[in-house]
Amino acid sequence: MADRRIILTPQEREQLEKEYRNLIDVQRPDVIEKLSLARSQGDLSENADYDAARDRQAQIESRIAEIESIFNNAVSAEEAGIGGNSAKIGIGDVVTFEEVATGETNTVRIVGQVGADPFANPPSISNESPIGVALIGNEAGKSVWVESRERYEIRIISSERK
């Protein structure tokens, strides 16, 4: 991740900042307290509470480092030139499209690499996903090809900046 530019929407940045603050201000102190309590129980070689707290500490520190790396390499969609006031589709847009072969209609929100959530409403897809790559920089009314295992065509019905 260190040499890679990571594109974040304002919502993604805010969500990561909240998670970061929670890890630093709440979870890290909690696990330190649990480690201290487990150490006070004596022999650490067979102390399950100590082992569990050390594992949790490693997870927390790893996630903190990951978020810091994201922030160090992050740019906004506008800075990356794929968002903002253009009529072209960019990060943060909600796009409705139709698969030409099946007639199936889908609506997705295009987000940066760290914000993809297939369970959101509408589903959030990464700007680096095959559909995200096909949609970005295009406009409603245009048909584009999605380059995936099976190449297929979609027609962009609408795009809304949110």
- Report field, pTM of the whole predicted structure over 0.85: no
Can you give the pLDDT at residue 10? 85
End position of a domain, from candidates 37, 60, 77? 77
Place 2 in a pLDDT band, splitting at 50, 70 and 90: very low
Those residues whose C-beta lies under 8 Å from the C-beta of residue 134, and which sit 6 or more positions away, are 144, 145, 146, 147, 154
End position of a domain, from candidates 48, 77, 106? 77
Domain that holds residue 66: 6-77
Strands 74-76, 6-8: pairing kind:
parallel
Strands 93-99, 6-8: pairing kind:
unpaired
- Residue 27 gets the label, from left (phi > 0), alpha (psi -120 to 50) or beta, of alpha
End position of a domain, from candidates 77, 100, 131? 77
Can you give the pLDDT at residue 113? 84
pLDDT at 84 over 60: no
Is residue 125 assigned to a domain? Answer: yes
